[in-house]
Amino acid sequence: MRAPLPPGSTIGIFGGGQLGRMLAMSALQLGYRCIGYAPAGDNVAAEACAGFFEHHWNDREAVSAFAARCDVVTWEFENVPVAAVEAIPADRLPTSARALEVAQDRLSEKRFVEDLGGRAAPHLRIDSEEDFARALESIGTPGILKTAREGYDGKGQWRVRDRHEAQGIRFPGRRCIYERLVGFESEFSVILVRAADGEIRFWDSTANTHEGGMLVQSVLPAGEWVEAQVDEARALAGKVADALSYVGVLTLEFFATGDGPVFNEMAPRVHNSGHWTIEGAATSQFENHIRAICGLPLGETATRFATIDMRNIVGEQALGAHRILAEEGEPHLHLYGKREAREGRKMGHVTRVGARLG
């Protein structure tokens, strides 16, 4: 195991979005400085970083210069090209690129989890219109066609309610996966943090609500369906983290069904459904990720309030978001500093908490 990084060390973050911004803010609190790397764009993480490299992922010279300034390197989203991560010296990577390889391909991640004893929805690989037709016969409807790689927040996904609707969906020309839609009582996520010595801590699992494939709300208490199945889901998430020798925050999403938890997808990073931990937990997911990758002791993950309600602020909702501050109670508003309030774009979130526990 590496010695803990001393204050003043530099953390490199691949990616320039809001997750990188919140990671950098937690790193500053612990005495570290951050630099970021991402292609040119609205890189809101740059505002919390001491420096930022705006270069293409395949610019090996720029990646090398970035790595030379870092004591440790992490990432804020799972679609960072594996080649960029593999260009970082191994002694600066607390987690190998293997976690990204698994998570970047929906087929690979389902097989990986199934090999560890988890259950996913019935699914098939789709490489052509003929494959899609055979999958409709074999798996049936309702279902969902997804690109095997990339795509998030509902992008690269086509719901198929019945055979008639399927006739209007064309194979997009790249490898996909077709899944049977799962009948579920609730959606939930298991968020854990794992240290280099194998210690794992879990946050409470929220019940999550999605619209159009995008998370809109996470609440605690999560309800009896989630509470009855979270132990089984945690056991699987722990196996995934151990199998990957993962260090940092890892998220697995599940459906709570009448037959137990069904795995949906994983994210080897801090997660939208864990934003409530900033105010709602003893240690936030962002701080614990920094602690883990820097070799510091993990923080307690206990929930601090009897009720918690986190909601995303999307698109033009951000334009009037400061009105939330006039609400009674304890609304905690986070705006990400994005310049353009496009439809479907996450602009911030608000967490409302109830009575303090203990």
The 10s digit of each residue's pLDDT in 158-191 is: 888 877 777 767 777 788 999 999 999 999 999 9
Helices (H), the chain: 18-29, 60-68, 82-86, 98-103, 106-115, 129-139, 163-166, 224-243, 277-280, 285-293
For 226-246, what is the mean pLDDT?
98
243: tokens are 């199998």
Q: What is the mean pLDDT of the chain?
A: 94
- pLDDT for position 170: 75
CA torsion, ordered 344, 346, 347, 352, to nearest 10 deg = 120
Q: What is the DSSP letter of 58?
A: T
Question: Which of 233, 256, 268, 241 lies closest to 105, judged by CA?
Answer: 268
Q: To the nearest whole percent, how much of the chain has pLDDT over 90?
A: 84
Residue type, 232: E
Question: Which of 29, 30, 93 lies closest to 66, judged by CA?
Answer: 93
Please indicate whether residue 287 or residue 153 has the higher confidence score (pLDDT). 287
CB of 286 closer than 8 Å to CB of 270: yes
Q: To the nearest whole percent, how much of the chain has pLDDT over 70?
A: 97
For residue 153, name the pLDDT band (cuts at 50, 70, 90).
Answer: low
Please list, in sequence order, all residues whose beta carbon lies within 8 angstroms of the beta carbon of residue 8, skipping any fewer than 6 positions away.
31, 32, 33
- Per-residue pLDDT of 27-79, as tens digits, reads 999 999 999 999 999 999 999 999 999 999 999 999 999 999 999 999 999 99
- pLDDT for position 257: 97
The full set of domains in the chain, from first to last, is 10-93 (3.40.50.20), 122-180 (3.30.1490.20), 186-353 (3.30.470.20)
- pLDDT for position 1: 61
Tell me the whole-structure pTM to 2 decimals: 0.94
- pLDDT for position 28: 98
- pLDDT for position 41: 94
- Is the pLDDT reported for residue 133 higher than 90? no
- Is the pLDDT reported for residue 103 higher than 90? yes
